[in-house]
Every structure is written in C-alpha cells, then in structure tokens.
Amino acid sequence: MNDSRSQILNSLRHRLPQSAPLPTMDESWIQFPDPIAQFRDSVVAVGGQTETCKAADLADTVGRLTVFDESKRIVSTVDGIAGNVDLQQVADPHDLEDVHLAIALGQFGVAENGAVWIDDHSLRHRVVLFIPQHVILVIPSRDVVHNMHEAYRRIDFAENHFGVFISGPSKTADIEQSLVIGAHGARSMHVVLVD
C-alpha cells in the first residue's frame, strides 16, 4: 500500500509540466437587482416551493402547509415548530425510515441556483435530510447571497463534518429524459424565508 503511494507521488514529481499560477477569482460575478426574488424564482425553477413570513408567524406558516398537515412522523430542529420525533433519542439512523417530514434550519440561500446550505451541526443524523418524504428548510431572508462565490466565502469547513447544498426536491430524468420528482430523497422541498 505504501509502495503505491510513493510510486505514484514519485512519478508525479517527475517531468513536471509547466506550472500555471492559480487564478485569483476577484472577478465581478453575477449580481441580481433583487436577490431574494431571484432566489424564489430559482427554487421554483428547480422544482421547489417558497413561503415568506415574519418570524412570529413561522409556526403558523409551516402549519398551514399540506405536507405538514398530512405528515404523521415529523422531525423538527427549528425552534418554535414542534415535531414528534426527537433526534437525540434515536440511536440508529435506520429508525428514521418512516419519517414523513423533516423541518430544518438552513444557513443561507443562493440566488443564482436556489440552493440552501445546511450542515449536520444540529442534525445528529444527516440522513434526516434525505430519507423523509418531504423536507422544509427555513432560512432568514437576509441570508440570501447572489452567487456560489459568495456562498463558499460564508462556509467554515473547519467547523463541520458534513454539509450540503440542496437545490429543490430529489429528481431524475433517467428514463427517456422525462423529469420525475422524488427519485430517492424528498418528494417535495419547501423553503421558508423568514423576514
């Protein structure tokens, strides 16, 4: 095993092609006149839905959604919204198989592609983002950035083991290029923007 390592590294050190300097990336990347509106459009374009509300109305806004109404087992990591599955009591992620809905706090949204960044800090089981039938992500509307360059500037990788950009519900077009929502993961994705 170690042999292959030194063999590979040695042959990569040999015959070095001319090195190119790394680009600085101080370009002027895309900016939108109204990033929040653009974010909403992007979420819809990738098959998701958005809601907007005041902080005080968050629980009501989420409660009014049909997916909330119809779900029996709910995981919520958002203060003020009650779920009925306590992640801290779940030792094995397999036990989350029949969770219908997960409601989680995302860190920020990206206007250009409707993605929400979320890490597993508060989640314990990251599968909770992928295994439920439906997912609702909540973000503060002031935390919408224009583009991916700004997005990565906000992430501190020293702090997390797992983080994901989620852009809309799970989807596939593997059968004759027909778009089907709900491949393996969430069948629907709501993003709630809190003012």
Partner 1 sequence: MSSKTDHPALATVFVRDEARTKWHDEALWFVRTKRDRAAAAVPEWETLRTTAEQIKAHVVANLAELLERFEQNAAARGIQVHWASDGEEHNRIVLEILKKHNVRHVVKSKSMLTEECHLNPYLEANDISVVDTDLGERIVQLRGESPSHIVLPAIHIKKEEVGETFHEHLGTDAGASDPQYLTEAARQHLREQFMKADAGITGVNFAIAETGGFVVCTNEGNADLGVSLPGLHIACMGLEKMIPRYQDLAVFTRLLARSATGQPITTYTSHFHGPRENGELHIVIVDNGRTDLRSDENFRRSLSCIRCGACMNTCPVYRRSGGHSYQSTVPGPIGSILAPARDAHQFHTLPFACSLCGSCTDVCPVKIDLHHELLTWRREIARRNALPRSKKWGMRLASAVLRRPWLYRLAGSMARIFLRWTPRWILYSKLNTWGRQRDLPVPPAKSFRQMYRERQKRS
Residue number, 73 or 124, with CB nearest to partner 1: 124
Residue number, 31 or 82, with CB nearest to partner 1: 31
H or E element in which residue 45 lies = helix 35-45
Sign of CA dihedral 149, 137, 45, 164: positive
The minimum distance between CB 55 and partner 1, in angstroms, equals: 28
Residue number, 13 or 79, with CB nearest to partner 1: 13
Q: How far apart are CA 111 and CA 113, in angstroms?
A: 6
CA angle 166, 170, 174 (to 5 degrees): 130
The minimum distance between CB 7 and partner 1, in angstroms, equals: 6
The minimum distance between CB 57 and partner 1, in angstroms, equals: 29
Beta carbons of 168 and 116 less than 8 angstroms apart: no
The minimum distance between CB 76 and partner 1, in angstroms, equals: 19
Those residues with Cβ within 8 angstroms of residue 113's Cβ, 6 or more apart along the chain or in another chain: 42, 46, 148, 167
Residue number, 130 or 141, with CB nearest to partner 1: 130
